[in-house]
Amino acid sequence: MRNSLESVLQPLDEKSPRPDDKQERETWGNKIEFILTCVGYCVGLGNVWRFPYLVFNNGGGAFLIPYFIMLFVCGMPLFLMELAMGQYFSNGPVSTWNIICPVAKGVGFAMIAVAFLCTVYYNVVIAWVIYYIYASIGRVVPWKYCSNKWNTENCYDGTNKSKLDFKQNCSTFELNITNSLINTKPLLNAATTLAASKSLQMNETNLNSTVCSNISFYYSSPSQEFWERKVLNISGSLSDSGTIRYDLLVCLIIAWTLVFFCLIKGIKSTGKVVYITATLPYVLLSVLMIRGAFLEGAGTGIAYYLKPNFSILGKINAWVEAATQIFYSLGIGFGSLIAFGSYNKFNNNVVRDAVTLCLVDAFTCIFSGMVVFAVLGHMSYKSNIHISKVATSGPGLIFVVYPEGISQMPISQFWGFLFFFTILSIGVDTQFAMLEAVVSGLIDEYKFLKKRKALVTLVLCIGACLFGVSMVMQNGMYVFNIFNLQSGGISLLFLALVEVLALGYGYGADKFEKNIEEMIGYKPYPWWKWCWKFISPIVIFCILLSSILQWTGITYGDYKYPLYGEIIGWFLALASMIWIPTVAIYKLYMCEGTLLQRFKKVCKPKVDHKFVLDLKLFESNNNFDE
């Protein structure tokens, strides 16, 4: 038996997959665990806080046309590519790329760098959610009224109407004298600031001296002040670090402890956790949808969300937004899909899985938008404010606007707890997946770490938690914003472009098509190969170019970051991108021959697809424990 095994291993490079490694490699307990883990990974916070706003802001239901087109030409092909790579070579992202195209090994390191940086700030969001869950446990949600010690005199909750009394000193307000009848309507913008409603009938003879028209009394909502003054206690600038928010620090430690214990035994533990964390969001979203459907104004909100405006199809920005959303929602480029695929059985139908998972993610996005806009429609109805002034995206939607809507419901504390528990269950799955990509990438590349997986996971969790401390300071939101925009922005697009080019032309799309055929038993549609070679690279390049051309610097609201803030942001972006050229140069340097000869050597795959197929057949017919 051992002699047969050694004869099979002879063609392999030292970094190529070996049966001994395969024997020790974990596998999913069953197919359901794999599917649920992938669903949990794809269905993240972007489905809730970004997609609904994109649909509303880009032609409503008409936005779904470019969205699904981009899904089929860019999203699905790359999603399938990463899953199939992991499944075929049974390795993490770094080792897989070293086998496929050694010169592109840096793509694997870039993947785990991006994934690690994103886990740092992503778990800060989960810490915020844990804080809100705790805050929801009480007789009244603390963001409902203005009677708390953190509220200012500008806070308006609908009950303190005396604050809206007209003041005679008009010079303290912005004036626009138009007529003698003043009727200013309420206004609620993305930051949920309110303007008073006041109707005054003035004597026309006094028009030039005392009459003030369109007077706006701006007040902040309780949810806005709770978020900024209580939760964040935000400072005025990036340079004003302030003090540590110890309550948020505790929540951050809890979040990382949760992640560690769910990953401590690898996919054996994660595969069991996802039975709850991947399915619970759908149950809770359904409950919120049913409740929201019975709210006054909910139908109007959903109608505004889906009402089609087909003129948007002629605008390039809608197509770029659709492609960008697809890209980030599916989690392409983080290495997680390669890691998940590596735990599959060799003959798993990866094509069917990829198509199914992409469609599940797309329809989850649409459904989440209906849940969100049902509540926003109710807010619009209650406040007599146009819904366009309510709709927003990002943390402001989850932590300001939606809580404001919840506070207007009966038993708001219950719905607040339910909503934030939903967000928690959505967020932790994605966090598990990104950290698993880092762990898998490291232990597959450095074999001596395999027996110390729990220790590796612990060190990574502690390290990421320490980085995250900078985001629970009083200037933490400014730091978070840098990570959010730069750690997985342009760098991730660049990574994906190199990835698809390396596979399509370095390894060979035709060869990869044969690899998939060996796994699933039939030849996949040529469409996939065309996308890997032509369509997807062009689309990704256009998105990358558009992102660079539209870059205007880092801002947070009206605050524009100083130069050193921009430098920190680009340093984060380069922290992942730099691996690609650095490793490529190192590979070329270590080879012998002319530059052209070296380049040919480092582009040549380290193992032929026929060898891997023989190896899989060998494994299926022999018991390595004998």
**40 in a labelled binding site:** yes
Contact 192, 220 (CB under 8 A): yes
- Please provide the DSSP assignment of 372-384 as one string: HHHHHHHHHHHHT
Three-state SS at 571: helix
Contact 519, 612 (CB under 8 A): no
Rounded Cα–Cα distance for residues 53 and 224 (Å): 19
Look at strands 218-220 and 193-195 and give their pairing.
antiparallel
**233 in a labelled binding site:** no
For the chain, the first-to-last Cα distance in angstroms comes to 8
The length of the chain in residues reads: 626
Look at strands 559-560 and 218-220 and give their pairing.
unpaired
Q: Using the 8-state DSSP alphabet, how is residue 410 labeled?
A: T
Q: Using the 8-state DSSP alphabet, how is residue 562 labeled?
A: P
**247 in a labelled binding site:** no
Residue 16's closest CA among 83, 84, 85, 90? 90
Three-state SS at 37: helix
The runs of H, that is alpha helices, within 343-398 are: 350-383, 395-396
The count of other CB atoms within 10 Å of the CB of residue 416 is 26
Whole-angstrom CA distances from 492 to 321, 426, 489, 504 are: 15, 22, 5, 18
Burial environment of residue 95 by CB neighbours within 10 A (0 to 12, 13 to 18, 19 or more)? buried
Contact 223, 407 (CB under 8 A): yes
Residue 352's closest CA among 623, 25, 35? 35
**141 in a labelled binding site:** no
Instruction: Please report which helix (H) or strand (E) contains residue 597, including its range.
Output: helix 595-603
Rounded Cα–Cα distance for residues 356 and 15 (Å): 33
Q: Using the 8-state DSSP alphabet, how is residue 181 labeled?
A: E
Residue 252's closest CA among 11, 439, 431? 431
Contact 191, 228 (CB under 8 A): no
Three-state SS at 219: strand
**Residue holding tokens 């009848």?**
181
**43 in a labelled binding site:** yes
Strand partners, 1: none
Would you list which residues are annotated within the binding site for Na(+)?
Answer: 40, 43, 47, 329, 429
Would you list which residues are annotated within the binding site?
Answer: 40, 43, 47, 329, 429
